[in-house]
Amino acid sequence: MPDLFFPQLSSGAVAQFPFSKQRTLRTIQNVLGDGSILLSPDPKASRTTWVLNLDELSPAETQAIQAHFAACVGPLRAFTFLDPSDNMLTFSSDLTNSVWSVSPNLQIGQSVADPFGGSTAFSVTNAGQTPQTLGQALAVPANYQYCFSVYVRAFGNSDVILNRRAAGDASSTSFACGISWSRIVSTGRLNDAGTALTVEIQLQPGQSLQLCGPQLEPQIEPSRYRPTASRSGVYANAHWASNQLWISADAPNSLATTLTIECAL
């Protein structure tokens, strides 16, 4: 069975506002004979649930959702859901974590003053003679609409490059940066039908930058930064929560549905 991914809308988004997201946790409680209570978490019962209200859908968008529901056989088969309210990158708050692919001549320092008044930024220096990259690879559709953003500043006027690439296509955009923090954004779709996407920050030889808040989102423009650790907005074991998918027609070529997706944590 090929990989299954919840489809994007023609707008380049996964959801419409308003939508809801709920995280449910369960604790097991044992009351002993002497009245004392033992509490224990039950992580296997924890789950996240999204309720998406989709309106003014075109026939093509509706057919894509129906085809996905049929391919999953309702709640039977798992699929990957890209949370519209979260950062798709893992360990966005720790650029030294092994999940990041770091070119050998990049030097990374920690505890740098960040644009939010804390010290969560990183200093990154290219000590080599060729361009070096810091990036992360994800098992997601390369041809979806994505928005890759990061806060950056330099010690003088400088240019930094953001890459979005897949096996068959790539996009590289250069941004000017200076001594003040600025958020740079690479957005668009790649012409590649594969399910592997890499996003990178590229430094030129001898270049030094300060970086904070890398974020990848399945939409056109960036939202507020959401730091992540081991859990990100890519849920690879999501399921439909219902055996039926109801579609209503509000007007000619204007359809609507409300659907629920859930995933064990």
Give residue-wise pLDDT tens across range 31-40: 888 888 888 8
- Reading the block at residue 185, the tokens are 């954004």
Distance from C-alpha of 156 to C-alpha of 28, rounded to nearest angstrom: 56
Residue 192: domain span: 101-217
Q: Is residue 34 part of a domain?
A: yes
Q: How far apart are CA 18 and CA 84, in angstroms?
A: 11
Query: Can you tell me whether residue 53 is helix, strand or coil?
Result: strand
Q: Is 223 a member of any domain?
A: no
Number of structural domains the chain divides into: 2
What CATH number is attached to the domain comprising 113?
Answer: 2.60.120.260
Longest dimension (CA), the chain: 71
Query: What would the two tokens of residue 37 be?
Result: 């209570």
The beta strand positions in the chain, using DSSP E, are 19-24, 27-31, 37-41, 47-57, 79-82, 101-102, 106-112, 121-126, 132-138, 146-154, 158-165, 170-177, 182-188, 197-203, 208-217, 234-240, 248-251, 254-264
**Contact between 109 and 119 (Cβ < 8 Å):** no
Residue 9, in any domain of the structure: no
Q: Is 107 in the same domain as 81?
A: no
Q: Is 27's pLDDT higher than 90?
A: no
What residue has token string 């649930």?
49
81 and 124 part of one domain:
no
Q: Give yes or no: residues 64 and 117 share one domain.
A: no
CA distance 141 to 116: 32
Digit-coded pLDDT (tens) for 74-130: 999 999 999 999 999 999 999 999 999 999 999 999 999 999 999 999 999 999 999
CA 9, CA 93: separation in Å to the nearest integer? 29
Q: What is the pLDDT of residues 184-230, one digit of tens each?
A: 999 999 999 999 999 999 999 999 999 999 999 999 999 999 999 99
70's CB contacts (< 8 A; 6+ apart) are: none
Q: How many helices (H) and strands (E) does the chain have?
A: 1, 18
Instruction: Identify whether residues 106 and 210 lie together within a single domain.
Output: yes
Residue 33 domain flag: yes
Please report whether residue 62 resides in a domain.
yes
Helix (H, G, I), strand (E, B) or coil at 148: strand
CA 103 to chain centre: 23
Q: Which has the closest alpha carbon to 208: 97, 85, 140, 121?
A: 121
Residues 49-75 have pLDDT tens digits of 999 999 999 999 999 999 999 999 999
pLDDT at 45 over 90: no
Same domain, 205 and 240: no
Residue 46: per-residue pLDDT: 85
**Mean pLDDT in residue range 27-48:** 83
Residue 94 lies in a domain: no
Of residues 251 and 31, which shows the higher confidence score? 251
- Could you tell me if 92 and 172 are in contact, meaning their C-beta atoms sit under 8 angstroms apart? no
Mean confidence (pLDDT) of the chain:
95
| Confidence label for 2 from pLDDT (cuts 50, 70 and 90) | low
Task: Please state, in angstroms and rounded to a whole number, the distance separating the CA atoms of residues 172 and 201.
Answer: 10
Asked whether residue 198 falls in the same domain as residue 244, the answer is no
d(CA 17, CA 251): 20
Q: How confident is the model at residue 155 (pLDDT cuts 50, 70, 90)?
A: confident
Please state the rounded mean pLDDT for residues 238-258.
Answer: 96
**pLDDT at 159 exceeding the cut of 50:** yes
Residue 1 confidence (pLDDT) above 70: no
pLDDT at position 38 is: 86
- Same domain flag for 213 and 244: no
* 3-class SS shares of the chain: helix, strand, coil, % to 5: 5, 45, 45
pLDDT value of position 8 = 98
Cα radius of gyration rounded to whole Å, the chain: 21
